[in-house]
Copies of this chain bind each other. A is one copy, B any other.
């Protein structure tokens, strides 16, 4: 657990383990489902004639991410500089760091950009633009994207705010290099139904195109017009004026995406394997060895039509078990019971029974684990171990 013992060591014995006997809790990836999810988005965007810039933040594993990429050197999106370091180590050269830059991170950005790496930074204020221009080398200007707020979800310049857009572009020139605009339709997670999702995607597209045109009209080249969120990536009807789409969570999908209607429960490639350790039968509780350290505390489905608690319970083969969900989590204990409002299920799963829990939010559940145990569809043994990183 200290420096040495926290090294992610795994032995050949970790492979070919059976889901019935391996240590629990642990994280499983169904490789066939994952591959299908990737193929589905690649196909869709290829047909639409728009580039794909996958996001590393969900998988945080080269083994997963190398399958998501459309070329060996990128493009790629990251949410931390540590993610960028990992991708650069694997030969990726075209990266957007898609979290607003703070000035203190610029020296590290500059170190990573040595050797011809395109590591673009994101900003939405004149204050940041001044800092980036000041840190930049006119002979190797830092590439910059202006973040847009297309739906009030989080950060970014309002796409109609020409004054601010142009003020930022002016501060960047000529030391840094304005590369384009970027928006994330975070509010698409609240959209319900195909037409609402299509509208969210169109709003995202319009925001990006509007801002790019404002910048170009004032003489600023703006080659990159980047949009993205998993819900809009699967529902957008037009990419006119857009140069690339970003998405990350689609690689595994999760119960939140299923609740939005972007995937089926059966498409979810990620699950947490756990073991029954007890019962409180008068309450209809089955106690498992997966608490929030394994599942996360994410309650992303709490506001959806179907609240999946802390995760939907499946048998060891991955088949959902009617209305059983994880209703309470402590640090290392999960309590499985009937979904609130469902008739109580007098399940009697013997101690030692293996269960698989589908996650609310794949990013949040995956981040609780150091590795993926890879299985085939309907298979019961581990075929590969994929390491996973974290930190900043």
A interface residues (Cβ-Cβ under 8 A, vs B): 1-3, 5-9, 21, 23-26, 57, 60-62, 79-80, 82-83, 85-86, 89, 99-105, 108, 124-125, 127-128, 131, 149, 152, 154-155, 186, 275-280, 283, 287, 289, 292-294, 296-299, 330-333, 335, 350-352, 363-364, 367-370, 387-392
For the complex formed, measure the closest distance between the CB of A121 and the CB atoms of chain B, giving whole angstroms: 11
- Quick one: closest B residue to A123, CB to CB? B278
Give the residue of B23, B131, B186 whose beta carbon is less than 8 angstroms from that of A392.
Answer: B23
CB contacts (< 8 Å) of A152 on chain B: these are 283
Q: Check A277–B100 contact: CB distance below 8 A.
A: yes
Q: Check B333–A155 contact: CB distance below 8 A.
A: yes
Q: Check A186–B278 contact: CB distance below 8 A.
A: no
For the complex formed, measure the closest distance between the CB of A303 and the CB atoms of chain B, giving whole angstroms: 13
For the complex formed, measure the closest distance between the CB of A173 and the CB atoms of chain B, giving whole angstroms: 20
Give the residue of B60, B86, B131, B277 whose beta carbon is less than 8 angstroms from that of A102.
Answer: B277
Q: Check A351–B103 contact: CB distance below 8 A.
A: yes
Given A80-B332, A102-B275, A104-B352, decide whether A7 and B6 contact each other with a Cβ distance below 8 A: yes
For the complex formed, measure the closest distance between the CB of A164 and the CB atoms of chain B, giving whole angstroms: 11
Q: Check A127–B351 contact: CB distance below 8 A.
A: yes
Q: Check B154–A293 contact: CB distance below 8 A.
A: no
Give the residue of B1, B330, B389 whose beta carbon is less than 8 angstroms from that of A5.
Answer: B389
Subset of 23 A-B contacts with CB under 8 Å: A1-B61, A1-B388, A2-B86, A3-B7, A6-B8, A6-B370, A6-B391, A25-B392, A99-B277, A100-B287, A100-B289, A124-B278, A125-B278, A125-B279, A154-B330, A155-B277, A155-B333, A293-B390, A296-B296, A296-B297, A297-B299, A297-B364, A369-B391
Give the residue of B61, B79, B105, B333 whose beta carbon is less than 8 angstroms from that of A154.
Answer: B333
CB contacts (< 8 Å) of A296 on chain B: these are 296-297
Given A21-B104, A102-B352, A127-B350, decide whether A155 and B278 contact each other with a Cβ distance below 8 A: yes
Given A155-B287, A287-B155, decide whether A332 and B1 contact each other with a Cβ distance below 8 A: no
CB contacts (< 8 Å) of A102 on chain B: these are 24, 275-277, 289, 351-352
CA distance A280 to B82 in the complex (A): 27
Give the residue of B1, B25, B350, B369 whose beta carbon is less than 8 angstroms from that of A387.
Answer: B1
CA distance A100 to B9 in the complex (A): 27
For the complex formed, measure the closest distance between the CB of A213 and the CB atoms of chain B, giving whole angstroms: 23
For the complex formed, measure the closest distance between the CB of A110 and the CB atoms of chain B, giving whole angstroms: 14
CA distance A389 to B126 in the complex (A): 41
Report, nearest first, the 7 A-B pairs whose CB atoms are least far apart.
A1-B389, A1-B86, A100-B277, A297-B297, A2-B387, A102-B275, A100-B278
CB contacts (< 8 Å) of A125 on chain B: these are 278-279, 351
Give the residue of B24, B26, B131, B387 whose beta carbon is less than 8 angstroms from that of A6.
Answer: B387
CA distance A276 to B131 in the complex (A): 14
Given A26-B392, A155-B280, decide whether A82 and B1 contact each other with a Cβ distance below 8 A: yes
Q: Check A86–B5 contact: CB distance below 8 A.
A: yes
Given A331-B79, A387-B1, decide whether A99 and B289 contact each other with a Cβ distance below 8 A: yes
